Structure 1
Amino acid sequence: MKKHLYIVIGLILVLLLAACSPTSLPTANQTTPPQQAAAGTLQVYYLDVGQGDSTLIRTPKNQFVLIDGGYNSQGKNVVKYLEQLGVKELTAVIATHPDADHIGGLDTVIDAIPVKSVYAPKVSHTTNTYKDFLMAVKNRGLKIKSTKAGLQIPLDGVTAEFVAPVGEYGKDLNAWSAVLHLSFGNTSFLFTGDAEKKSETDMLAHPNKLRADVLKVGHHGSDTSTSPKFLTTVNPKYAVISVGEGNKYGHPKEAVMERLKKAKVSVYRTDKNGTVTAISDGTNIKFETVR
């Protein structure tokens, strides 16, 4: 009798250990995004792509805009996210700048999902990652539309206008970042790519175009971005930081977190919250996280 009891206890222990083993735990990129929100709302999905950037916008009229696609290794994960959210076509794809952690996965996305238009700043790069992006666009029979301050993306029911790049920035890829301002009803969002203080200073020439309820924090929370004057001008209620857990850069920097805290901004982070979803009905914004 005791022998059978020991066998049963042993089997239970084996099952418990298997259930708790690291290989059985979901990774960040296996986490399913939140369910689609009610029709007629604006939904912004700050996708969890580790140390990189990728954001999906779903307009109230069911048009989709993808901003960046994370590293090369994240391309398939981004496609999976989009498929889970029912994306059949992308109205626009925005490559904020040629850094690999922003455009790496875009060729995989463009190959997998039909795209109507592609936007990127007028700056090139010599990496294979950038060339893969260009080839994917070419294979779709598309030409890249150059982003610059004042250019609008034609969308129904929302206003989407680039507020940067403002000028010419030579080989400073971060300064070339395409920055998009999106508004729906009385709510607004600002997506900053890796724009740093140089670009932020240029954007401040038109402060009335920067105010936003939700700020996608520049450069993953690096202290080269989100300068005090820029943050004061944007005056967000919420901020989202797209960042990888335990990244080697130390992002987000403590100085930036202190600035956001001092400004009484509610902060969401993809390394802690997974994919972060902001849902706007035109008056109020609510947030959902997967963890």
Structure 2
Amino acid sequence: MKKTLFVMLLLVFVFLTGCTTNSSSLNTETKKATVVNGTMKVHFIDVGQGDAILIQQGESTMLIDAGDNQYGETVVNYLKDQGVQTLDYVIGTHPHADHIGGLDVVINNFEVKKIIMPKVGHTTKTYEDLLLAIKNKGLKITTPVVGETNDLGDSQFTIIGPNAESYNSLNDYSVAIKLAYGNTSFVFTGDAEENAEKEMLALGIDLKADVLKIPHHGSSSSLSDAFLKAVAPKIGVIQLGADNDYGHPHEETMAKLAGVELYRTDNNGTVVIESDGTNLSVKTQKAGNDTSTANTQKVVQQENTATTADTGSYIGNINSHVYHTVTCSSLPLEKNRVYFDTEEEAIAAGYRPHEECNK
């Protein structure tokens, strides 16, 4: 009882007032970063069965989660190796230890300007340690407001979850964001499950993104068909530990991701995706043993540069059997393409038109 009261008092001290949603003024178009200066790097740090994501754009940095308790120093050392001295934003997606366990160590080692966490408590020593670290630094917690957009250097992120005041599962409280840099974009949803995904879909926000941090370590309780279709990622990253006790990633999830360029921290170690505002390049710490994973640096072209003279007027996706016009913004990866001179040729080969570019 005393421990619960202590945690509640800490919560009162460190939380700023705020509401979870702002649907009355919600802009359904997530804002794009129109100015591009240099590159943006997104580091999916290998912290075993947990999440830790560093985002760098120019001199600005953000950390989303920091793995379990034993990975605090790992994350601190990684950030220092990347030249990080100040964190403009720290997001603790939700109070589970595999996400916030190392955050107290991070907060103790860096200057932190703003902390975003959902307004939900947890009576664990791990959560108490985090609140104490925040209090001792004289910081306050900002409650996420859905629809709010913040600048991170020349990139911008919009909060897209959580969308309710209370849930049955702590996972659904996960702070979710869409990050944009130039014409490239990422979606991060922590451990949000299907219930929270439905709420994000109901907002009417443009969720389409080039990269999706696969929610909940590849669990079948997340990544509904509707949510995956809305995001339609070219690249997916799963953060998980090798031979974990949960059986992640689940077979059902892997089957859904068959057409996505997939990276896994259990196979690849730390994964770094760099954007110049148009193209994405991917570097992995180690080669991995998954045949769907690229083992060396890969560049993903975001703009079509093909001409009809040397390729064809229509581009088909060999996985989905959907064909696109050459100017479509949702072209498949080069390795998944097949070219057709006419629509009739594509249809005869068993391909169907992409709804958006063939209107």
TM-score (norm 1): 0.84
Mapped partners of 2:151, 2:208: distance in 1: 21
Report the AA paired with residue 231 of structure 2: V
Comparing 274-283 with 163-172, greater Cα deviation is found at: 163-172
Does the alignment pair 1:266 with 2:261? yes
Does the alignment pair 1:282 with 2:280? no
Which position in structure 2 is the counterpart of 1:67?
64
Mapped partners of 1:168, 1:197: distance in 2: 17
Mapped partners of 2:135, 2:189: distance in 1: 26
Mapped partners of 1:242, 1:125: distance in 2: 23
Does the alignment pair 1:41 with 2:39? yes
Shift of 1:238: 0.3
Q: By percentage of residues, which structure has more helix?
A: 1
Which position in structure 2 is the counterpart of 1:109?
106
Shift of 1:166: 1.0
Q: How many residue pairs were aligned?
A: 250
1:129 maps to which of 115, 126, 137: 126
**Contact map agreement 2:189 2:213 (CA 8 A) in 1:** yes
- Unpaired segments ≥5 residues, structure 1: 1-38
Which position in structure 2 is the counterpart of 1:18?
none
**Contact map agreement 2:212 2:236 (CA 8 A) in 1:** yes
- Unpaired segments ≥5 residues, structure 2: 1-36, 287-359
**Contact map agreement 1:120 1:145 (CA 8 A) in 2:** yes
1:89 maps to which of 86, 91, 104: 86
Mapped partners of 2:53, 2:95: distance in 1: 16
Mapped partners of 1:68, 1:199: distance in 2: 19
1:160 maps to which of 154, 157, 160: 157
Comparing 119-128 with 203-212, greater Cα deviation is found at: 203-212
Mapped partners of 1:94, 1:82: distance in 2: 15
Give runs of aligned pairs for residues 1-291 of structure 1, distance below 5 A. Answer: 40-59=38-57, 61-261=58-258, 264-291=259-286
**Contact map agreement 1:148 1:178 (CA 8 A) in 2:** no
Mapped partners of 2:167, 2:196: distance in 1: 12
SS in 2 for 1:287: strand
Mapped partners of 1:68, 1:175: distance in 2: 15
SS in 2 for 1:166: coil
Shift of 1:171: 4.5
Mapped partners of 1:98, 1:171: distance in 2: 14
**Contact map agreement 1:163 1:209 (CA 8 A) in 2:** no
Shift of 1:207: 4.2
Mapped partners of 1:171, 1:137: distance in 2: 26
Higher relative contact order (CA 8 A, sep 6+): 1
**Contact map agreement 1:70 1:101 (CA 8 A) in 2:** yes
SS in 1 for 2:87: coil
Identity within the alignment, %: 50
Report the AA paired with residue 250 of structure 1: G
Mapped partners of 1:268, 1:208: distance in 2: 26
Mapped partners of 1:106, 1:207: distance in 2: 32
Mapped partners of 1:158, 1:151: distance in 2: 14
TM-score (norm 2): 0.68
Shift of 1:210: 1.1
**Contact map agreement 1:46 1:56 (CA 8 A) in 2:** yes
Shift of 1:79: 0.3
**Contact map agreement 1:44 1:56 (CA 8 A) in 2:** yes
**Contact map agreement 2:61 2:152 (CA 8 A) in 1:** no
Report the AA paired with residue 275 of structure 2: S
Mapped partners of 1:184, 1:278: distance in 2: 12
